[in-house]
Amino acid sequence: MTTPAHAPQEGLCATLLRGWRGVRSLNALQALAPHDRDRVLADAGLTDLTAPSVLRAGHVDTLLPAAIALHGVDGATVERDRPDLMNDLQRVCALCRSTRTCRRLLAENCTRPEHALLCPNADTLDALR
What is the per-residue pLDDT for 64? 95
**Cβ atoms 93, 67 nearer than 8 A:** yes
Inform me whether the pLDDT recorded for 48 exceeds 60: yes
* pTM for the predicted model, two decimal places: 0.66
What's the whole-number mean pLDDT along residues 47-76?
85
Inform me whether the pLDDT recorded for 9 exceeds 50: no
What is the per-residue pLDDT for 7? 36
d(CA 39, CA 13): 7
Inform me whether the pLDDT recorded for 107 exceeds 90: yes
What is the per-residue pLDDT for 68? 97
What's the whole-number mean pLDDT along residues 34-40?
86
What is the per-residue pLDDT for 8? 43
What's the whole-number mean pLDDT along residues 33-62?
79
| Domain range summary for the chain, segments of one domain joined by + | 12-55, 60-128
Cα distances (Å, whole numbers) of residue 115 to 1, 92, 95, 112, 125: 39, 15, 17, 5, 11
